[in-house]
Amino acid sequence: MSINELKRAAGYRAADDYIRDGMVIGLGSGSTAYYATLRIAERLREGTLRDILAIPTSEDTARIAREQGIPLTTLEEHPRIAVTIDGADEVDPEQNVIKGLGGFLLREKIVAFATDYEIMVVDDSKLVQHLGEKAPVPVEVIRFGWRNTCAALERTGARPQMRQRSGAPYITDEGNYILDCTYDRIASPQELAAALKAIPGVVEHGLFLGMVHCTVIAAPQGVRVVER
């Protein structure tokens, strides 16, 4: 199976098994969550799913949902979400994850915090023994004073790099920068998360710890589900 076929298998499995009539759901961002959004739209058109409302985690996902005919709402109108299906950049054995390489970590974490059952959909290449093995930790920062913020991140052991798009700094949906922070080893994700949030100028980081209830993992041998 190609990588896109694996992503499709994970996204479709989650959309089929966990989304039910009448739910308020969260729509994640990224290439694997994209397939879950497509499958939810297919189910609405088929009539096997009815009366849902969706809260997107990015402007990109909102655009796709509108194009596919998925009705949208907001957290102001519906402050609790039954199920969110989202993607991850790394998943450890405790289902702690790194997210944010797509650039949407702030809204993704806000939605996850409001969700009763948070599902990650991944292919098996995203599984790691320790967070930070493959992916940097994305940190969303205010543009004002960002160089001072960057220096503070370095003092946590990070090697920060400004995320670029088309030769210019990447700007998030909320108008911020992202500094991708590579660590030689993350000994304690919880301690690192606390240290990052204590830095003035840091809006949010891509460590999602204790927030995931279920991971749907696609591999060439098939799709498996791991629940916490």
Domain spans, the chain: 3-128+209-220, 137-205
Q: pLDDT value at position 38?
A: 98
Amino acid residing at 115: T
CA distances from 110 to 33, 51, 71, 129, 208 (A): 17, 23, 20, 26, 11
30-68 pLDDT per residue, tens = 999 999 999 999 999 999 999 999 999 999 999 999 999
CA distances from 94 to 2, 61, 123, 141 (A): 27, 28, 17, 27
Q: How many residues comprise the chain?
A: 228
Instruction: Give the other-Cβ count within 10 Å of 53's Cβ.
Output: 16
Task: Compute the average pLDDT of residues 122-151.
Answer: 97
Q: Which residues are catalytic?
A: 108
In this structure, what token pair is assigned to residue 42?
A: 């297919």
Q: Classify domain 3-128+209-220 at the CATH topology level.
A: Rossmann fold (3.40.50)
pLDDT at 175: 97
116: how many CB neighbours lie within 10 A of its CB?
A: 12
pLDDT the model gives residue 166? 94
Contact 32/99 with Cβ under 8 angstroms?
no
Query: pLDDT, tens digit, for every residue of 88-130?
Result: 999 999 999 999 999 999 999 999 999 999 999 999 999 999 9
- Alpha-carbon span 48 to 64, nearest angstrom: 20
Q: What is the mean pLDDT of the chain?
A: 97
Flag whether pLDDT at 5 surpasses 80.
yes
pLDDT at 1: 77
Phi, psi of 36 (to 5 degrees): -65, -40
Q: What CATH number should be reported for the domain whose range is 137-205?
A: 3.30.70.260
Q: Torsion-angle region of residue 201: left (phi > 0), alpha (psi -120 to 50) or beta?
A: left
The pLDDT confidence band at residue 72, using thresholds 50, 70 and 90, is: very high
228 has a pLDDT exceeding 90: no
